[in-house]
Structure 1
Amino acid sequence: MRYVSSSPGTTAVVLDSPHSGTWYPDDFRPACDLTVLRRAEDTHVEKLYDFAPALGVAWIEAHFPRSYLDANRALSEFDPELLDEPWPHPVEAGSKVRLGKGLVWRLTDEGVPIYDRKLSAAEVSQRIERCWRPYHAAVAQAIDQAHAAHGYVIHINCHSMPSVSASHATEFPGLVHADFVVGDRDGTSAAPALTRWIAEFLRARGYAVDVNHPYKGVELVRRYGDPAHGRHSVQLEINRRLYMDEQSLALLPGHARLKQVLKDLVAGLVGLDPRAC
């Protein structure tokens, strides 16, 4: 199994899904049950966007689970308490690390400990080399190619969210989520007009949409968004209740309509020049 897969695009739109991976590597060895870990996945997101190649849209997908290594974290967002030895690299104790959800997760969304052992620096470094670096290299390459070909790029970082925030998922436990949350890090990772266009597109189709709350976007949009230079990165969160049973993880009939809406959204972005928004 490859840790990361990608397909090239011919348009100015790039999609990536860092959290829909369902392949659990043998060296993971978590202490908690797999059914608990699986609730952390952005389950089925890759299916919702499987139309991307047919639209000429680049697609990057992680096959490893986010609880094993979170590609949407900076390398410095690491909790050294996970290790049985010192971590030889810089660390920062941001909100995600405090919640146990840094580069390598310590807790699930519900606050369940993932490990009953300490990790070695070598195994964390191996995860970074196998997962984080190839994933970011693929995203960066797709964005650079789209920007070089078109003079701008629209990067959509694709996610899903539970209908209600769990105790350790965000800093807003118990929050009932809207149908969609569109994040641009308060206008720093994408032109606000583009973010408004996406939000209004979805609202016009009957969905409740929040912007930058409770999800502003994390490392992937922070790292690659540079709207002043034509690089627009937006995080798009979809409420899982729209398309799946959150307990069994089974797809619901409503996923077909949602998938068509997403296809129409992406097709609209393909035809949209953010410089004209």
Structure 2
Amino acid sequence: MRFTQPLSYRLDLPPRYPESDPSAPLVLDSPHSGTAYPPDFAAAADYGALRTAEDTWVDDLWSDAVDMGAPLLAATFPRAYIDANRAPDEIDELLLDRPWPGAVNASPKVRLGKGLIWRMLDDGTPLYDRKLPVEEVEHRIEACWKPYHAALRQLLDGAHRKFGKVWHINCHSMPSVAGAYATDQPGLVHPDFVLGDRDGSTSDPAFREFIAAWLRARGYNVTVNDPYKGVELVRAFGCPAEGRHSLQIEINRKLYMDEVSLRPTAGYGRLKADLRELTAALILWTRAQTA
């Protein structure tokens, strides 16, 4: 079976940024901003529906971080093709043409149809009218999931080597209201921001509390580990005992875009400016923690 191999990520580095000598102990990644839909995807859902799975504009909203000294990694493959923020064993065997040859983790997200390879969109729309060959899923893991995780690990390791500590922001967006098949709380009205560190297991709580206080001071409604605690990327890379602090940040899409047309709204400029100021504050704060 032949596959088209997509480019798996885009890495935006600050000017004069050598990966072996980063200028700040802060790294950002956006795993769901990809819009390069591979020809081998062959999804049954139409393109407009597929795009609702994206974290549209999130990589751009945080992009000012790059000129300020923090690298930004962004997936180029779409989340509906393979989700970089799920574990590689979160396999939905209902999708497959035969049993998966390795271990399978039937997590709550898999049962919702939102495993490593999605079975349906947030509104219940099926993605496929076919069974997926095991080889097709294995290809997506090799071509997209593994390179993305390897690139993020390299960035985090480089900052950790220089500073002895590293702070990682895993950047996401969420709909204003949870979809019927998005979470185990369908219909939930979301706050402006949700900060998730898996109940303090992926980061020193001081990281999330600094960000929460900063955002609340500017009038945003912020919750912590509710309803989103953080998923695979913060779990895989956060280890506060080793000075590795990973935090997932979910931004409510109503703050910056029309959720139907996906076009930016009047609030886009204000939010992007606020995220720029937050990033500047974080760079100073993280440097102070390593002084």
TM-score (norm 2): 0.93
Superposition deviation, residue 2 in structure 1: 2.2
Return the match for 1:154 from 151, 156, 167: 167
1:131 paired residue number? 144
Superposition deviation, residue 148 in structure 1: 0.6
Give ranges in structure 1 of 5+ residues lacking alignment. Answer: none
Superposition deviation, residue 49 in structure 1: 1.3
Letter paired with 1:210: T
Return the match for 2:10 from 5, 23, 36: 5
Conserved in 1, the CA contact under 8 Å of 2:97 and 2:132?
yes
Partners of 2:167 and 2:280 in 1: CA distance: 12
**CA offsets 1:142-177 (integer angstroms, 9 cap, x no match):** 000011111111100000000000011111100000
Return the match for 1:228 from 219, 241, 249: 241
Point out 4+ residue stretches in structure 1 off by more than 3 angstroms. Answer: 273-276
**CA offsets 1:195-241 (integer angstroms, 9 cap, x no match):** 11111110000000011011100000000000111100000000000
Secondary structure of the residue that 1:158 maps to in structure 2? strand
Secondary structure of the residue that 2:143 maps to in structure 1? helix
Conserved in 1, the CA contact under 8 Å of 2:7 and 2:144?
no
1:72 paired residue number? 85
Return the match for 2:70 from 51, 57, 79: 57
Partners of 1:175 and 1:214 in 2: CA distance: 9
**CA offsets 1:68-126 (integer angstroms, 9 cap, x no match):** 00000010111112111221110111111011000000010111110000000111111
Partners of 1:38 and 1:194 in 2: CA distance: 32
Superposition deviation, residue 63 in structure 1: 0.8
Letter paired with 1:109: D
Partners of 2:91 and 2:176 in 1: CA distance: 27
Partners of 1:275 and 1:227 in 2: CA distance: 13
Secondary structure of the residue that 1:20 maps to in structure 2? coil
Residues matched between the structures, number = 276
Determine whether 1:122 maps to 2:132: no
2:18 paired residue number? none
**CA offsets 1:223-265 (integer angstroms, 9 cap, x no match):** 0000111100000000000000000000112111100111111
Partners of 2:147 and 2:253 in 1: CA distance: 28
2:39 paired residue number? 26
Partners of 2:165 and 2:274 in 1: CA distance: 24
Secondary structure of the residue that 2:263 maps to in structure 1? coil
Secondary structure of the residue that 1:194 maps to in structure 2? helix
RMSD: 1.2
Partners of 2:263 and 2:10 in 1: CA distance: 24
Query: What's the % identity of the aligned pairs?
Result: 56
1:169 paired residue number? 182
Partners of 1:17 and 1:258 in 2: CA distance: 17
Give ranges in structure 2 of 5+ residues lacking alignment. Answer: 1-5, 14-21
TM-score (norm 1): 0.97
Letter paired with 1:102: G
Secondary structure of the residue that 1:155 maps to in structure 2? strand
